Structure 1
Amino acid sequence: MDAMRVEDPTHVGRYQLLGRLGTGGMGQVWLGRGPDGELAAVKVALEPYASDPRFRALFAREVTTARRVRAPWSAAVLAADPDADRPWLATEYVAGPSLREAVAAGGGLAEPDLLTLAARLAEALAQLHAMGVVHRDLKPANVLLAADGPRLIDFGIAHALDDTRAGAAMGTPAFMSPEQVSDDRAGCPSDVFSLASVLAFAASGQGPFGTTVTPVAMLSRIVHQPPNLTAVPRPLRDELERCLAKDPAHRPTAAELAVRFGALASGGGPWVTPAVRRLVDRAHRTPLGPCRQAWTPELTPRRERIPLLAVGLTVLTLLGGVAVAMSSPDDPAPHPTQVQEVTRDSL
């Protein structure tokens, strides 16, 4: 996190701004603190977009969709004002590395961690899909590894199922589905394909279609070549092969995966490897990241409370931009000391 600048506002809505988390293509993200001491990622649109009526309408629509999301192991909006001079939204903040950072620091996850990660993310997707929401940009940078479990974040290019736009090539090349590449309608099965690519990366540090120099070459592999899952443990490999079917109709649903992955992960041990734990602990030692109780996996989160949620729900590519042009083909990892993930294609 970077220090505040002289030109930065001191408050947005009810939030006092404490530091800069990052800057994206459409806005600035600050760490904010509410009157009750609650930390949040506060995301404010840049002036050119704030002056665009179409952007404002789409922003308001995305906020409406965002507020429907109350899925375990995913992100929720705390507050938003789409009618402000510069539209903004605030999402809950979690101290912890992204999956991308964790793998860069310590290599692929141990099998128990990998299985728990698979079960949690499948459960999050199943809940999103049940609410009619498609993520559409599931990648390692959009998975945070918090002390009490992983979080699926950043639904900035998610759309309600009844408003998913065909022909909008949104996503990060190494983790896109064939239908995203070929301009077909990207629905829930597209998220399942991307989930499998993310889990393959978590196992080995490399996606199922390897590495390439250009995004175009990566997209060609996704459409035409079979995946390489040799580094994925056998119990999980068979499931990921089904998820990576080129035909969306041949993939399992996220709800089916949540059950299968949950069964595989039922004997899991403590969460995260020592290398990842060090990153999490470093985050909790910062003055703005109060330490929370260490976590041991339980595959069904408590339903009597809203689970602790991560930074997410960034409104991006709302003007029909192509995220492929903004991302490297292999989504290289940042320096592992960067605790809060805010990607270039964030608000």
Structure 2
Amino acid sequence: MDGLRGLTADDPQWIGDYRLLSRLGSGGMGRVYLARSEGGRTVAVKLVKAELAAEEEFRDRFRAEVAAARRVGGRWTAPVLDADTEAAVPWVATGYIAGPTLSEVVGSYSRAGSYGPLPEDSLRRLAYGLSCALRDIHGVGLVHRDLKPSNVLLTIDGPRVIDFGIARALDAVGEQTQTRAGTVLGSPSFMSPEQVTGQRVAPASDVFCVGSVLAYAATGRQPFGNPASGVHAVMFKIAQEEPDVAAVPDGIRALILDCLAKDPAARPTPEELAERLGPVPGGPSAPPWLPAELIARLGQHAVLLLDTDTPPGGQPPTVLTTKTLPSPAPPPPTPAERRRRRRWLPLAATAVVAAATAAAAVPLLSGGADADDSASDIPARYVGTWSGPVLRDGTPTGQQRRFVITHGTVGEVVANSTSLGATYECRSDGKLVSVTRHDGHPALRLDTKVVRSVPAGRCSALGEHTLEEGGAGTLTWAAAGRTATLHRVAPADATVPAGFVGTWRRPNDDGYGSQQLTVEQAPAGSTVLSTVVVGRAGRCTAHADLYAAEGGKLTVGPSVVDRAAPGCTPSSTSVLSLAADGTLHREFLGDDKQPRGYSRVK
């Protein structure tokens, strides 16, 4: 309930037979509203975006997924209450859960939670509830695909999993009408290896996500790092590296590690997880599963729910569709009205808290108000990694531009930009200024700040950047007279192929000493190349970062000298390739050095 926001002139006042009370959030699929039925039941209604509704592939799969979601029942999830998948703008209604999300409670690297990491007893109950929820979801042929802390709500008698069965409908649009390399569905820190590598997603993928969610709930940190370190870095760790679970309590660490097995076949099933955790006590006599502070907060949620008025606005429409009424949004209640209503709260709140998981605890398919991207101003079609050559006044410059765009709102940093030239590399953070151009046309306008310059002092901000949709699934970038057509970069194009990894060496031209390169497996934007030059003047070391791995070649930025020696100078941007004879070829884009060949050492 912390995320309730008033209705605006753009919001309908009725959806189907449900009177809207306030807006809960919005995301890649549509808007979510708190509403009440004519009988007084509080529900959550998701209204699909009009552009998605126009896609027949989306509508077909949405229809099928909602039908399957209606069959999901059990203690840890509950059926969809109502839906109209044939309306001009489809919608789905579920009961509203008066409880906080796991992400609200635990917090993150950028925002403190209301409590923090959960104790071990609560973690075991959480794990049991998530396992049982997945058992019910998988039992009707669904895969959640986006299990994350903001899709787990906490109620008095256990967790509730929400937003199941909808991600696949969005996937239909990505496959059929927005086909492009690198489109993945999910939240980067809580994806499975299958998701980050673009493989088929099966029920075992959800089990991996349970492991990540539990590790987060135990420590307050994502086990593979947070997106602030770079989306590709997180995805690389998920696919290739071991999770950080050192701070997880001993009693549940082994279970989490089993869930986080890289091989889907090695992970336990939800049924096996539930059996390992054993049945948990339930009913009125069961001890609380959450700390006392959180139980008290659930009561506050119930009070806020009672304190939400049903605004005036006539009778419901007779057809199950949306209708915007001409009357303005109602004014907030006066202090006297609030006092009259609050006189009944001590008694009523007790009843609501006791019934929080009976009458109101059913899944909200949209996620809670604190969902990772629920309040994002960035359209989903912009999110991802993009790259392309830069033009100036229509003439190629030889420079490259890359953007990594994430969800966020106006005023937040939503993009990281890299500009690569023959002799420099500049990285900037982009803060979202607006989602339209000055003429009102849809576009992202960013205000950038340089965060890394190679060489030092070389880079400066270009002022406002504009990104808008181009043709054939591209983005068009413009800033300070420069433009670029950006193409989406697949995850595989951001990591180093195995054939490059290892140590390579060549003798110095004067026959004394050698030059040694070590290529490491790393995502774009990370150090991938280490150089050691030993010569008559001494020992020189340097490193360089990966810009791109595509077309069988690695593009590496200009080097940074770590340990200098007489005559040791940074090298320009270079391109590495593997020759037919098994040697490594390095070509420099600047005019400082001639091409070089290296033989593998190990």
TM bucket by the smaller chain? Answer: 0.7 to 0.9
- Aligned twin of 1:277: 295
- Aligned twin of 1:162: none
The C-alpha deviation readout for 1:279-330, integer Å capped at 9, x for no partner, is 32221111447743449xxxxx9xxx9993131267x9xxx969766458xx
- Aligned twin of 1:157: 167
- Aligned twin of 1:9: 12
- Aligned twin of 2:82: 79
**Pairing partner for 2:219 from 204, 218, 226:** 204
**1:80-119 to 2 correspondence within 5 Å?**
80-103=83-106, 104-119=113-128
Q: 1:280 to 1:306 in 2, by over 3 A?
A: closer
- The 10-residue stretch of structure 1 (97-106 or 27-36) with the greater mean CA deviation from structure 2: 27-36
1:177 aligns with 2:192: yes
CA contact 1:71–1:128 (8 Å) conserved in 2: no
Q: CA deviation at 1:54?
A: 3.0
Q: CA deviation at 1:244?
A: 0.8
Secondary structure of 2:60 counterpart: helix
The CA distance in 2 between the partners of 1:55 and 1:90, in whole Å, is 18
**Counterpart amino acid of residue 288 in structure 2:** P
Structure with a larger share of its residues in helix: 1
1:144 aligns with 2:153: yes
Q: 1:243 to 1:216 in 2, by over 3 A?
A: same
**Counterpart amino acid of residue 195 in structure 1:** V
- Aligned twin of 1:125: 134
The C-alpha deviation readout for 1:84-124, integer Å capped at 9, x for no partner, is 12111101101111000001121111111111111111111
Secondary structure of 2:81 counterpart: strand
Structural RMSD (CA) = 3.1
**Counterpart amino acid of residue 234 in structure 2:** M
Secondary structure of 2:132 counterpart: helix
The CA distance in 2 between the partners of 1:38 and 1:189, in whole Å, is 36
The CA distance in 2 between the partners of 1:55 and 1:128, in whole Å, is 21
The CA distance in 1 between the partners of 2:11 and 2:258, in whole Å, is 48
Secondary structure of 2:258 counterpart: helix
- Aligned twin of 1:332: none
- The 10-residue stretch of structure 1 (283-292 or 33-42) with the greater mean CA deviation from structure 2: 283-292
Identity rate, percent: 42
- Aligned twin of 1:224: 240
**Pairing partner for 2:364 from 285, 290, 311:** 311
**Counterpart amino acid of residue 217 in structure 1:** A
TM-score (norm 2): 0.48
Q: 1:285 to 1:121 in 2, by over 3 A?
A: same
The CA distance in 1 between the partners of 2:150 and 2:198, in whole Å, is 23
Structure with a larger share of its residues in strand: 2
The C-alpha deviation readout for 1:240-294, integer Å capped at 9, x for no partner, is 111111111111111100111235x569841212342343222111144774344
Q: CA deviation at 1:234?
A: 1.6
Q: CA deviation at 1:50?
A: 2.7
Secondary structure of 2:67 counterpart: helix
Q: CA deviation at 1:205?
A: 0.4
Q: CA deviation at 1:62?
A: 2.2
Secondary structure of 1:286 counterpart: helix
Secondary structure of 1:97 counterpart: coil
- Aligned twin of 1:190: 205
Segments of structure 1 that go 5 or more residues without pairing to the other structure are: 160-164, 296-300, 329-347
Secondary structure of 2:23 counterpart: strand
1:233 aligns with 2:233: no
**Counterpart amino acid of residue 310 in structure 1:** P
CA contact 1:167–1:184 (8 Å) conserved in 2: no
CA contact 1:172–1:323 (8 Å) conserved in 2: no
Q: 1:7 to 1:250 in 2, by over 3 A?
A: closer
TM-score (norm 1): 0.81
Secondary structure of 1:285 counterpart: helix
- Aligned twin of 2:377: none
1:43 aligns with 2:46: yes
Secondary structure of 1:208 counterpart: coil
The CA distance in 2 between the partners of 1:269 and 1:94, in whole Å, is 21
The CA distance in 2 between the partners of 1:98 and 1:51, in whole Å, is 32
The CA distance in 2 between the partners of 1:197 and 1:322, in whole Å, is 26
1:18 aligns with 2:34: no
**1:296-307 to 2 correspondence within 5 Å?**
none
- Aligned twin of 2:36: 33
Secondary structure of 1:105 counterpart: coil
**Counterpart amino acid of residue 141 in structure 1:** S
Secondary structure of 1:31 counterpart: strand
CA contact 2:105–2:115 (8 Å) conserved in 1: yes
- The 10-residue stretch of structure 1 (59-68 or 47-56) with the greater mean CA deviation from structure 2: 47-56
